[in-house]
Amino acid sequence: MLEGIIVKGYSGFYYVQSGSFLWECSLRGKYRIKDQDFLVGDRVLIKPLNDSKAVIEKVLTRTNQLIRPPVANVEQVVIVVSLANPDPDLMLLDRILVLAEHQELKVVICFNKADLVDEEYQDKHRSLYESIGYDTLLTSVKTMTGISRLLDYLKGKISVMTGPSGVGKSSILNAIQPGLALKTGRVSQKTKRGRHTTRHVELMGLEAGGFVADTPGFSRLDLPEIKKEDLSYFFPEMAELKTGCRFTSCLHQTEPGCAVLAAKDKGSVDMGRYENYSYLLNELIRNERRY
Ligand SMILES: Nc1nc2c(ncn2[C@@H]2O[C@H](COP(=O)(O)OP(=O)(O)OP(=O)(O)O)[C@@H](O)[C@H]2O)c(=O)[nH]1
Ligand SMILES: [Mg+2]
Ligand SMILES: [Zn+2]
């Protein structure tokens, strides 16, 4: 038996990469009977039937399982934000960051389309997220800025690209490895959004080692089920401070003796981040009422 990783599923077949070999695997035997769900990213044991086809015999335990994109065993998420066309959506960025923190994924934030803005603006958001402790990159596929540094982050890991439509996720992967030839789209001038050029989920093997999945962009994303008291754990700069709050159940809104509010007033917690925290907090509270 060989160990491999499911890199794509397509009309009833799963394609399993084992070493440099791609096996076409059908669903047979006990897995078909159980109608077991397979996910791209699953590590599997396969039994070859001939020199190109094999049967999946066993799925190894998953370390995690993302819903969007539906990929298992993800180690890292690359969040792409475009600096212009479309403008950065920091609310969506903070929302994705909460999800990534909740799933304990490594994060790299790519500020893309650097070629479209001036130097001062290039570092405006980036310096904020770097100060919070995130790995950040400035990228441009036009000037190839940051592309090799991103490849260094991707090497040897299973990563997914994520972010709104039209920010350049597919373009960046094409720049990293031109052989991928992913479809890219025009950003509609009217809505300033991309057109969801990317559809299927597939893990692409990198020549440098590792796998990366391109994903279609999105603009809406639901939060996971988090208790309202816990939301600030997923904002690292607030998580550090919250032990200093007078009440352990502090939501950092209007409570007396709140260390987060004090830090915000001093400017050491960013106002925009705090506002996004409060917005997401209210969303969680509304959701709790619905249950
Ligand atoms: N100027 C500039 N344009 C870029 C850059 N990266 C991507 N683009 C353009 O932005 C548009 C959208 O790029 P895509 O790579 O299709 O974006 P995407 O994030 O994959 O979009 P979806 O697949 O719809 O989610 C294309 O016209 C790209 O040529 C960049 O660094 N600079
Ligand atoms: Mg795309
Ligand atoms: Zn507080």
**Is residue 219, in this structure, part of any structural domain at all?**
no
Shared domain check, 199 and 150? yes
pTM: 0.91
What sign does the CA torsion over 251, 253, 259, 260 have?
positive
Q: How far, in Å, is the centroid of ligand 3 from the Cα of 240?
A: 11
Q: Tell me whether residue 221 is in a domain.
A: no
How does pLDDT run across 51-62, given as a tens digit for each residue? 999 998 889 999
What spacing in Å lies between the alpha carbon of 262 and ligand 3's midpoint? Answer: 9
Number of domains in the chain: 3
Whose Cα sits closest to atom 30 in ligand 1? 113
Is the domain of 133 the same as that of 101? yes
Share of the chain above pLDDT 90, in %: 74
Q: Determine the 3-state secondary structure of 110 from DSSP.
A: strand
**Nearest ligand for residue 251 CA:** 3
Q: Supply the pLDDT for residue 28.
A: 62
d(CA 52, CA 54): 7
Distance in angstroms (rounded) separating the CA atoms of residues 255 and 259 = 10
Domain contains 167: yes
Q: How far is the CA of 280 from the centre of ligand 1 (A)?
A: 28
pLDDT digits (tens, 9 = 90+) for 215-242: 888 888 889 899 999 999 999 999 999 9
Residue 112 covered by a domain: yes
52/113 same-domain check = no
- Dump the DSSP string for 221-270: -PPP---GGGGGGGSHHHHTTGGGSSSTT--SSS-TT-HHHHHHHHTSS-
Q: Looking at the structure, do residues 176 and 201 belong to the same domain, yes or no?
A: yes
Q: Which residues of 159-174 are buried (b: 16+ CB within 10 A; e: fewer)?
A: bbbbbbbbbbbbbbbb
How far away, in angstroms, is 181 Cα from ligand 2 center? 11
Cis ω for the linkage preceding 88 (within 30 of 0): no
Ligand 1 atom closest to Cα of residue 163 = 19
Residues having CB closer than 6 A to ligand 1 are 112-113, 115-116, 140-142, 165-171, 184-187, 194-198, 216-217
Q: Which two tokens stand for residue 185?
A: 């789209």
Could you list the residue range(s) of the whole structural domain that residue 34 is in?
2-59
Same domain, 91 and 151: yes
* Residue 114 DSSP symbol: G
pLDDT tens column, 206-220: 988 999 999 888 888
Say yes or no: 36 and 85 in one domain.
Answer: no
Q: Does the bond joining 69 to the residue before it have cis omega, within 30 degrees of 0?
A: yes
Whether residue 129 is found in the same domain as residue 251: no
| CATH number of residue 119's parent domain | 3.40.50.300
Is the pLDDT score of 129 beyond 60? Answer: yes
Task: Tell me the CATH number at 21.
Answer: 2.40.50.140
From residue 69, how far is each of 102, 189, 221, 277 by CA, in Å?
16, 27, 12, 24
